[in-house]
Amino acid sequence: MITTYDPDGTAAGAAAGLIFTLIFTAFYVLLIAAIYVVSSWFLSKIFVKAGEPAWKAWVPVYNSWVFLELGGQAGWWALVAFVPLVNIASSVFICIAAYNIGLRFGKTGTWVVLYIFVPYVWWGIFAFNRSVWNPQPIAGIFIAPDWARPTGAVLRYIPQARPVYAAPPTGGPQNPTY
């Protein structure tokens, strides 16, 4: 063990450094725990609005998996996020999922810019605003290629080219045999 001594022969400087390091580490751990709790709480509110159980937001990697699948992307990109250099592609797919989730909540595509720069604010807004989840999103949703589609049955919806708010057909009954 390496120790440093003050000129008077005591290790007071090393003890002060150790105390400072312990206080800083405890503060850092509490800060990370608080960020995790707040982000999981926000995600749980979003998941409930989307029809998913809230507990899925509290499982560390699984919450990213579910977030990706809610956004129409393959959930396994959450695991790819741990691979160096390839995690950049995972980040792109997570941003695309945020874009698609925003469309499903009836927001415009520009909301993804907020997600890119401050995702915690984006999660907080989407968790507590009055927007409603629409499994049939507005036009413009990004459809992932076959190899990157969700594996679960959460969202296998493929958007069709149709108007979002089509007027109901006018006239009498649709079956002329009446």
Length of the chain: 178
Give residue 150's pLDDT band: very low, low, confident or very high (50, 70, 90): low
Give residue 58's pLDDT band: very low, low, confident or very high (50, 70, 90): very high
**Token digits for 17?**
């450094």
- Summarised one tens digit per residue, pLDDT across range 5-48 is 556 656 677 788 889 999 999 999 999 999 999 999 999 999 99
SS3 content of the chain, % helix, strand, coil (to 5): 55, 0, 45
Closest CA to 103 of 136, 129, 130: 136
- Summarised one tens digit per residue, pLDDT across range 72-105 is 899 999 999 999 999 999 999 999 999 999 989 9
Structural domain boundaries in the chain: 12-148
pLDDT at 16: 82
DSSP state of 57: G
Q: Where on the phi/psi map is residue 133: left (φ > 0), alpha (ψ -120 to 50), or beta?
A: beta
Give residue 62's pLDDT band: very low, low, confident or very high (50, 70, 90): very high
Task: Please state the pTM of the whole predicted model.
Answer: 0.71
- Summarised one tens digit per residue, pLDDT across range 100-147 is 999 899 888 889 999 999 999 999 999 999 988 887 765 556 656 565
